[in-house]
Structure 1
Amino acid sequence: MIDMLSSASVGCHIDDVCVNNISYADDVALLSASVCGLRKLVATCEAYALSHGLIYNVKKNQVMVFGDGRKQYDNIPPVLLNSTELQRVYKFKYLGHMLTPDLRDDEDIQRERRALSVRANMLARRFARCTREVKVTLFKAYCSTFYTCALWARYTQKSYNALRVQYNNAFRMLMGLPRFCSASGMFADARLDCFYAIMRKRCASLVRRVRESNNGILRIVASRLDGPFVNHCCTIAGGMVQKWAEQ
């Protein structure tokens, strides 16, 4: 089915490469610059399913319309799957990352804030009597992941700072430190990365892995040194990414 979609030559394009489907395991996202193109891609999937004795669950398929930054599209023609109109959504979790029509990351940062709060409270409640070394190890394992944080490129400083403050306070709470003690000092003393160090490392790691990937789409994105992806990572990671990108 992926071969059929890729050879359809309809959908979105990056330079001369057709990018109309992104697949991971049994999760498929169809991409098109128009409703007409999206309908053709859906029809291709329907034809494949019919020829292989498969049936799509319409309730698990949804449509999101991304704006261009200046115009939002309130009314769009329906997209049908198995003769049933697909629901249009304005927030969708794709592979764990929250997507919104304006392509901003504030919603995903809020998701991470909620997840951090749950994990931090769990550690403080269950491991209050553990040694300092155990607490530091647990905090590093459970509270320093920031899943997909390297993809955050468009967000308000308010959302970003709120997550940073919560990260700092979570460590203070677990370790029983004063509320207003120095964040940089407590992380240095525990030999843990502070919030900004984690973001720098995540961005540098993502750029490295994207640049080393054999995937044609990722190579196009990474090769654009003036593009928003590399520019954002260079801004966050500083010299780490800049030096690597120049090489």
Structure 2
Amino acid sequence: MGLSKLLSVCSEYGIEHDIKYNSTKSNVMIFSCKKLKDIHISNLLLNGETLPRVSKYKYLGRIITDDLCDNDDISRKYRRIYTQGNALIRKCYICTESVKYTLFKSYCTSLYTCQLWCCYRAESMRKLCVAYNNVFRFLCNESRDCSASYMFVSRGLPTCKMLIRQFFYSFLTCIAKSGNAILQSIMNSDALYTSPLCRHWQKMLYVYSY
């Protein structure tokens, strides 16, 4: 189905069910391979107004780009860690150690949608881990040269990569236990082994020895 036809169907569906689509809040993003990047795409209309074409859009808290890379979303997260971490360091420096740990877990360990990160530069993930380590280091008045792994493990907290693996495992467990027919079809199909996202999950969760 073409894009114009799809928008027409959506418009008819909205009229039938009394749904009003806001053209000022709607955008068009086109995902295309490199071989078709120069192809001309006609303007798309909704309620008689031309929809703007964007290469990046924030949807439900996640940044989506037309090249399907996750670098911008990871950048969003480590900037947020620095913002919230600096506020904790400034306001809670006199708190006890246990209170600092609780605040850090509450404000800096929620890596929302990290389960969907599979296409990114190593530098982006390195910056995320550095932000995670630095905030906790300054919050607990640790020296810059202290071991990040020891700093977290000695306090019973996960390192950044451990935290991401925990999110991966919890997400996969929820999918495996779900009774949704669509999810079960995906879990029982070849997509579990061939999709880039699933291959990334396996790479992060399992170590193969030969």
Q: Which residue of 2 aligns with 1:96?
A: 61
For residues 40-189 of structure 1, what are the structure 2 equivalents within 5 Å? Answer: 40-73=5-38, 75-189=40-154
The one of 203, 216, 228 aligned to 2:168: 203
Deviations 1:116-169 (A, max 9, x none): 111101111111110001001110111111111111000000111111011100
Q: 1:226 aligns with which of 177, 193, 196?
A: 193
Compute the displacement of 1:43 (Å).
1.1
> Which whole-Å CA distance do the structure 2 matches of 1:188 and 1:119 have between them?
22
User: Who is 1:245 aligned against?
Assistant: none
1:74/1:170 CA distance change after superposition, 3 Å: farther
User: Gaps (5+ residues) in structure 2?
Assistant: none
User: Identity of paired residues, percent?
Assistant: 38
Report the Cα distance in structure 1 between the residues aligned to 2:37 and 2:182, rounded to whole angstroms: 27
Q: Which runs of 5+ in 1 are unaligned?
A: 1-9, 11-35, 243-247
Give the secondary structure class of the aligned counterpart of 1:88.
coil
Q: Deviations over 1:6-44 (max 9, x none)?
A: xxxx4xxxxxxxxxxxxxxxxxxxxxxxxx2x2222112
Higher relative contact order (CA 8 A, sep 6+): 2
When the two structures are aligned, how many residues end up with a matched partner? 205
Which structure has greater strand proportion?
1
- TM-superposed deviation, 1:177: 0.6
Report the TM-score when normalising by structure 2.
0.90
Distance 2:38 2:111 in 1: 32
Give TM-score, length-normalised by structure 1.
Answer: 0.77
Deviation of 1:213 after TM superposition, in Å, equals: 2.6
Tell me the SS of whatever aligns to 1:177.
coil
1:69 & 1:226 partners in 2: Cα distance?
A: 24
Moved more, 224-233 or 116-125: 224-233
The 2-side partners of 1:163 and 1:60 are apart by 31
SS in 2 for 1:192: coil
| CA spacing shift, 1:216–1:149, aligned 2, 3 Å | same
Contact 1:222 1:230 in 2 (8 A): no
Shift of 1:210: 2.0
8 Å contact kept, 1:204–1:237: yes
CA distance in 1, matches of 2:83, 2:39: 36
CA–CA separation in structure 2 for the residues paired with 1:70 and 1:205? 37
Partner of 1:235: 203
| d(CA) in 1 for partners of 2:7, 2:123 | 39
Within 2, Cα distance between the matches of 1:155 and 1:90?
A: 17
**TM-aligned CA deviation for residue 108 of structure 1:** 0.4
